[in-house]
Amino acid sequence: AVSEAAARHHERMCGLPTGTIRVVPNGIDPVDPASEQVIRAFVDECGLGPCSCLLASVGRLDRQKGYDRLLSRLPALSARIPKGEIWGLAIFGEGPERAALEAQARALPCENILVVLPGRFAGAASLTAGFDVFLMPSRSEGCPLALLEAMSLGLPVVTSDADSLPELCRNYTGFSACLSFEEDADGTWFAEAVVRAAESGRSLPCILTTKEEMIEQYETIYHQLTTGDRSDA
Q: Which helix (H) or strand (E) holds 88?
A: strand 87-92
Sheet holding 87-92, edge to edge: 113-119, 87-92, 53-58, 133-136, 157-160, 176-179
Per-residue pLDDT of the chain (233 residues; tens, 9 = 90+): 999 999 999 999 999 999 999 999 999 999 999 999 999 999 999 999 999 999 999 999 999 999 999 999 999 999 999 999 999 999 999 999 999 999 999 999 999 999 999 999 888 999 999 999 999 999 999 999 999 999 999 999 999 999 999 999 999 999 999 999 999 999 999 999 999 999 999 999 999 999 999 999 999 999 999 998 776 65
As a whole number of angstroms, the distance between CA 162 and CA 216 comes to 28
Query: Which residues lie across from 89 on neighbouring strands?
Result: 55, 115
- Euclidean distance between the first and the last CA atom of the chain, given in angstroms as a whole number: 15
